[in-house]
Structure 1
Amino acid sequence: MLQSEKAYLAAFVYSLIIGFSFMFTKLALAIASPMDTLAHRFTISFLIASIPFLAKKAQLNMNYKDLIAILPLAILYPTLFFTFQAFGLVYISSSEAGIIQAVIPLFTVFLAGHFLNEYPTTQQKISILLSVMGVIYIFFMKSSGLEVANLQGALLILLSALSAACYNVLARNLTKRYALYKLTYIMTMIGFITFNIIAIIQHNIDHTLSYFFAPFGNQEFLLSIFYLGILSSLGTSFLSNYALSKLEASKMSVFSNLATLITIIAGVLVLHEKLQYFHLIGGSLILIGVIGTNYFNTKKVVNQ
């Protein structure tokens, strides 16, 4: 299998995992708070990622300068991306959040052109817009008209989308400088430290620290948190880092919209939700957009 084919496979599997993660997140949030869920999922991620190092099968071999170079990437994803997303959903609906996060490819295209000199062709611009329109159309039809979003929640989700776009661009260079597994490990470690500190501080303030590990007594939470921790956090970080080491940032970004389509398919197959005509129309637009963006070549402009 060619490297480009492996990259597209990684991007597709990334979308598949993210698409099903909504269902498991919903199950976990029924048992634990958003911040506790984030803390526990990244604890699982960090423990699994640490196994090769604890077994002395791998060595980190990174100095202080390397950690400083990787830190901005880890702050963008997972820290800022998931934090803005979790708190933004407190103020606005998931439908509204889904529409706002559909702008990730648009942000990515702008940033990639400015920082990486990767400029999309006209065909790619049209394809990206089709993908975004497909997501917006599905959520609009699903909600039968959107309520006016709370400004604070909308801003937080917009910042989450911007964090993802910045990650797509920054990871393009870092994935070429550092081993993918080590890069993913540092990102996971930062998420583990950040979310656990915030969650513990919250419990200390509320005098509920004794309830921090209580959700682990629930079987549904255990299943959900292992999926979110191993696949949705650790797995997607590695897959996206690998894909971005081979694909242009704009090509990778549209797979976030493909994840929306997979979420709908998961709802139909697993939760037995009804498949509507607008799912087919919006899904077709998303697929055409994803295929078009990756079929046409990005223009690489070299500054003289």
Structure 2
Amino acid sequence: MRSTGLKLAYAFAVMNAVIIGFSFLFTKMALAEASPLDTLTYRFIASFVIMTVPVVCGWIKVDYRGKPIGRALLLATMYPLGFFTLQVFGLRLATSAEGGILYSFTPVVTMIIASVFLKERTTLAQKLCIFLSVFGVVFIFIMKGGGLQLSNLSGILLLFLTTVAFAGYSVLARSLSKAFTPAEIGYLMMTVGFVTFLLISLSGHVVQGTLGDFFKPLASRTFIYSCLYLGIAASLVTTLTSNYILSKIEASAMSVFTNLSTIVSIAAGALVLGEEVTIYHVIGSVLIILGVVGTNLRRRQSVRGQRIG
């Protein structure tokens, strides 16, 4: 039974990487039609509405009585509030390539924070595999001429802080997985994101006298489709599955899967946009895959060894 749960967790981790791989593209498309705050608001409107229906109908059970709500709210300030706010403003000031490079450091930051707060231990081999996956991402972006530009320093700083926010979420969510179900954590996070971004966005428009601008993006099908993808797939689905994953495997082991999203972005560019795939794309992708597999293979071997012992 435990083996089945682990396999499902790994399957969800790969699925999330695929979803995230497309999210940068959809975020850029949405930002072409609306401001960062309005984009976030519509994104979480979609998430909240879609999850509220099964909760209200009783198909999904949530019960927060006697549970550490304060810590769960702290979790929501890291993700979605902190992460998505930093990401959307960061991508407005920096390039998608810079976003990809900085996001690749999430496993390293997570490993450090998890070792401090969760006392998670990683072997030297696992550390090397994590750094190998990060190097694979950085190698791809540098070879294609997408290195970090100091002129985009503000955006780079905001994008780096997204890695800290996601790492903090991963660590805290793992500790809360014993008190809450994945659905309970997910619904609370979606509700907090929906209420917060809606209030901030509408208040800003009312003060500036631009309330009509809030509804203008709805005239664009591209914007609507982008927000539906970002809200349902990239926010709701990944949140629910991430909470499940973190109840089964370590935060550091899960976070390394995020680098697979780079491979998805390359494949999407080739298949959808006809972009060229070069030898350095292949080399970088192999390094990423080896890093992800190596990190989690060492973990499973460690678990088996403990059982035998």
What's the TM-score once normalised by structure 2's chain length?
0.91
Q: Quote the residue 1:273 is aligned against.
A: 275
Counterpart Cα distance in 2 of 1:220 and 1:55: 31
1:159 to 157, 161, 182: 161
Q: Quote the residue 2:306 is aligned against.
A: none
Counterpart Cα distance in 1 of 2:93 and 2:213: 25
Q: Which amino acid aligns with 2:241?
A: L
Counterpart Cα distance in 2 of 1:294 and 1:239: 18
Equivalence map 1:18-33=2 (5 Å) = 18-33=20-35
Q: Quote the residue 2:124 is aligned against.
A: 122
Q: Quote the residue 1:175 is aligned against.
A: 177
> Is 2:279 the partner of 1:257?
no
Say what the alpha-carbon RMSD is for the aligned residues. 1.8
DSSP 3-state at the match of 1:194:
helix
Percent identity among equivalent residues?
Answer: 45
> Is 2:65 the partner of 1:68?
no
Counterpart Cα distance in 2 of 1:70 and 1:149: 37
Shift of 1:187: 0.5
Q: Quote the residue 1:87 is aligned against.
A: 89
Q: Quote the residue 1:108 is aligned against.
A: 110
DSSP 3-state at the match of 2:92:
coil
Segment of structure 1 superposing worse, 197-206 or 43-52? 197-206
How big is each residue's C-alpha offset from its partner over 1:85-124, in whole Å with a ceiling of 9 and x where there is no partner?
Answer: 1222233222223222221111111111111111111110
Structure 2 CA distance for partners of 1:145 and 1:246, relative to 1, 3 Å = closer
- Check whether the contact 1:95–1:143 (CA below 8 A) recurs between aligned residues: no
Counterpart Cα distance in 2 of 1:67 and 1:257: 31
> Is 2:194 the partner of 1:192?
yes
How big is each residue's C-alpha offset from its partner over 1:27-75, in whole Å with a ceiling of 9 and x where there is no partner?
Answer: 2222112211111010010001100222233443213753212101111
- Check whether the contact 1:19–1:262 (CA below 8 A) recurs between aligned residues: yes
2:18 to 10, 16, 19: 16
1:288 to 282, 287, 290: 290
Q: Which amino acid aligns with 1:112?
A: A
Counterpart Cα distance in 1 of 2:177 and 2:49: 22
Q: Which amino acid aligns with 1:229?
A: G
Q: Which amino acid aligns with 1:249?
A: A
Shift of 1:149: 4.4
Counterpart Cα distance in 2 of 1:23 and 1:84: 17
Counterpart Cα distance in 2 of 1:221 and 1:24: 9
Shift of 1:224: 1.4
Q: Which amino acid aligns with 1:201?
A: S
Shift of 1:217: 2.0
Counterpart Cα distance in 2 of 1:285 and 1:231: 27
Counterpart Cα distance in 1 of 2:180 and 2:146: 47
- Number of equivalences: 300
Q: Quote the residue 1:217 is aligned against.
A: 219
Shift of 1:140: 1.2
DSSP 3-state at the match of 2:164:
helix
Equivalence map 1:241-256=2 (5 Å) = 241-256=243-258
Q: Which amino acid aligns with 1:130?
A: L
Counterpart Cα distance in 2 of 1:73 and 1:6: 24
Counterpart Cα distance in 1 of 2:99 and 2:54: 37
Q: Which amino acid aligns with 1:69?
A: R
Q: Quote the residue 1:96 is aligned against.
A: 98
Q: Which amino acid aligns with 2:121?
A: Y
Counterpart Cα distance in 1 of 2:260 and 2:151: 24
Counterpart Cα distance in 2 of 1:103 and 1:84: 15
How big is each residue's C-alpha offset from its partner over 1:186-208, in whole Å with a ceiling of 9 and x where there is no partner?
Answer: 01111111211222233223321
Q: Which amino acid aligns with 1:192?
A: F
Q: Which amino acid aligns with 1:254?
A: V
